[in-house]
Amino acid sequence: MFSQRISIRAMFLTICVLGFVPAALAQDEAVSPAMFTVNNTWMLVATFLVFIMHLGFACLEAGLTQAKNTVNILFKNTTIIAIGLLTYAICGFNLMYPGDFNGFIGFAGMWLDPGAEGQTSAYAGGAYTYYTDFLFQAMFAATAATIVSGAVAERVKLKSFLVFSTIYVGLIYPIAGSWKWGGGFLDGKGFYDFAGSTLVHSVGGWAALACVILLGSRVGKYSDDRVNAIEGHSMPLATIGVFLLWLGWYGFNGGSVLSADPNLVSLVFVTTSIAAAAGIIGAMFTTWTVQKKPDLSMVLNGALAGLVGITAGADTVSPASAVIIGLIAGILVVFSVRTFDKLRIDDPVGAISVHLVCGIWGTLAVGIFSTNPEHSFIIQALGVCCYGGFCFVAAFLVFGLIKITMGVRVTEEEELTGLDIEEHGMESYGGFQIFATQ
């Protein structure tokens, strides 16, 4: 009963508003203090695991881009988490979980307020406290903007990006989230997204796509007749990033059980691990076959692809299905990266392929592999479309407006010199001889 992310908080707010306890919640066996404590402890562990994903993103994005833009990327990833936490406290949380609302948009008021019972086991049937709930969700919020950060790297204006992130994380992400996890209209329709293949990853991915289209490709990436490789500057950094993301995913998915339920959490750990492993194997064989030599950066993307793919159904598919979901995600990501390059959509770290493409795949996969007969492919597809339409358009408008007003792109000269010196006046690797003719 804890498996649906929305129920508890939505119910709780409803209760507060309506002033009575629905029978469903007057559970026969009350949760013991110890159970409340272990549930809440697990949710806090999951919270710090999701936190570390932000370091994972920072490392991965920095590693797959050039050394001359590293300070810039690290700066963005450090400030995004701050922006994410604060905007989510100010308005995001109450936009995403507005309690009883029209199903499209609602708002439960500014800032945090645990109320009288928020910090007791009454808040969520002994699963977690109000503050735990807030923080766990807040850690997710910043992720969406971080996904964009990788795709627009090496050419976006810092200020414009920060403004965009603030709006996207503070308003658009939580409104979109409310449709499902807040108990909105898609939740009513039976759409399922366990931990956010769509609600987090695709939401970030659609924005990434919109922004990249508005921004254009990096200087020198595409010449008249061909695609040029712009190499990332540190594979160890990229690898550290992916392992940290994988680690964080245990909290991302494991925490989305919204309690420490041994059965569900352990199942989720296994499906998550196995999908990541299968993603690696899928990407490895694909890149080895297609590119002749096995490409580490693709295999790293493969692990993430598997993880994004399993996220929507981690608690409702069997480990065997997780293998298939992960394998396909791993294969998909390699072809997707190549396809976007052919379309001249320049995404330095493969964020759109990993988060958008595999996020869609994962969401649809629930309709195929779920052990819960109520899940339907059609409804899953509907959800994908609703989110795609809203997020892409919203991101396009916001970023487009910023483009008109503040501009979104650094000058060509700034881009060639590197954002580190131009935007931050400092270098990332003081003293190191770096040979860059790009």
145-164 binders of a second copy (CB under 8 A): 158
Give the interface segment with other proteins, choosing from 114-122, 190-198, 312-320, 429-437 (CB under 8 A). 429-437
State the binding partner of 38 from other proteins, a second copy, none, CB within 5 to 8 A by kind: a second copy
Q: Which two tokens stand for residue 66?
A: 């050039």
Q: Helix 296-311 crosses helix 358-369 at what angle (to 10 degrees)? A: 50
State the binding partner of 350 from a second copy, other proteins, none, CB within 5 to 8 A by kind: other proteins
> Is residue 235 close enough to count as binding a second copy by CB under 8 A?
yes
Provide the 10 A C-beta neighbour count for residue 41: 13
> Is residue 132 close enough to count as binding a second copy by CB under 8 A?
yes
Closest approach of Cβ 164 to a second copy, in Å?
16
Contacts with 10 (C-beta within 8 Å, 6 or more apart), sequence order = 97, 99, 100, 182, 183
State the binding partner of 197 from other proteins, a second copy, none, CB within 5 to 8 A by kind: none
The residue behind tokens 């008109």 is 404
Q: What span, in angstroms and rounded, lies between the C-alpha atoms of 255 and 278? A: 22
Q: What x/- string results for residues 384 through 413 when contact with a second copy is judged by CB under 8 A?
A: ------------------------------
Give the interface segment with other proteins, choosing from 83-91, 242-250, 390-398, 421-429 (CB under 8 A). 421-429
Closest approach of Cβ 264 to other proteins, in Å?
37
> Is residue 247 close enough to count as binding a second copy by CB under 8 A?
yes
> Is residue 292 close enough to count as binding a second copy by CB under 8 A?
yes
Q: Which two tokens stand for residue 10?
A: 């939505």
Closest approach of Cβ 57 to other proteins, in Å?
18
Q: What span, in angstroms and rounded, lies between the C-alpha atoms of 213 and 139? A: 27
In terms of CB distance, is 199 or 284 closer to other proteins?
A: 284
* CA-closest candidate to residue 283, choices 255, 303, 261: 303
Q: Helix 358-369 crosses helix 319-342 at what angle (to 10 degrees)? A: 150
- SS3 of residue 7 by DSSP: helix
Give the interface segment with other proteins, choosing from 31-39, 248-256, 324-332, 424-432 (CB under 8 A). 424-432
Q: What span, in angstroms and rounded, lies between the C-alpha atoms of 260 and 39? A: 5
Give the interface segment with other proteins, choosing from 81-89, 226-234, 314-322, 397-405 (CB under 8 A). 226-234
Q: Which of residues 52-111 bind other proteins (CB under 8 A)?
A: none
249-268 burial code (b ≥16 CB/10 A, e <16): bbbbbbbbbbbbbeebbebb
Contact residue for other proteins among 229, 262, 263, 374 (CB under 8 A)? 229
> Is residue 116 close enough to count as binding a second copy by CB under 8 A?
no
> Is residue 45 close enough to count as binding a second copy by CB under 8 A?
yes
Q: Cα-flanking dihedrals φ and ψ of residue 385, to 5°?
A: -65, -45
Contact residue for other proteins among 338, 409, 414, 429 (CB under 8 A)? 338
Task: Identify the DSSP state of 218.
Answer: P
Q: What span, in angstroms and rounded, lies between the C-alpha atoms of 46 and 113? A: 22
Binding-site ranges for other proteins (CB under 8 A): 227-229, 231-232, 287, 290-293, 295, 297-298, 334, 337-338, 341, 350, 416, 421, 425-427, 433, 435-438
